[in-house]
Amino acid sequence: MEQQIHHHFSEDHSRSLMKTATYRTFIVAMDFAIAYAITGNIGISLGFTTATNAVKTVGYYAHERAWDGIHWGKRAHAHPVADEEID
């Protein structure tokens, strides 16, 4: 039986979603702190943070998935694959 090599170049959607969630959590806290520092108003800061971050989260995920299709800067990690995994 000849051993074949499988090259993996992309991320699972679940990895992109987790990266999106952790990044956005950090950014939401920063955005709120900045908005509150400028306005001194919790209500305005929460409204601004909620609205802008809902849109930014979708944008970040789309950006992450688009970059997953670009092979520049990626290294192929070869590993053997059994014949029955190839089908």
CB atoms within 10 A of CB 45: 19
What are 17-66's pLDDT values in tens digits? Answer: 898 889 889 999 999 999 999 999 999 999 999 999 889 888 988 998 89
Q: Is residue 86 part of a domain?
A: no
Element (H, E) at 80: strand 77-81
53 located within any domain? yes
- Find the mean pLDDT for residues 2-7: 60
Q: Are 53 and 24 in contact (CB under 8 A)?
A: yes
Q: Is residue 24 part of a domain?
A: yes
Residue 76 has pLDDT above 80, yes or no: no
Residue 82 lies in a domain: no
Beta-carbon contacts of residue 18 (< 8 Å; ≥ 6 apart): none
Residue 79 lies in a domain: no
Residue 55 resides in a domain: yes
| Inside any domain, residue 4 | no
Residue 83 lies in a domain: no
Give the count of domains, the chain: 1
Q: Which domain holds residue 18?
A: 12-71
Higher pLDDT, 44 or 16: 44
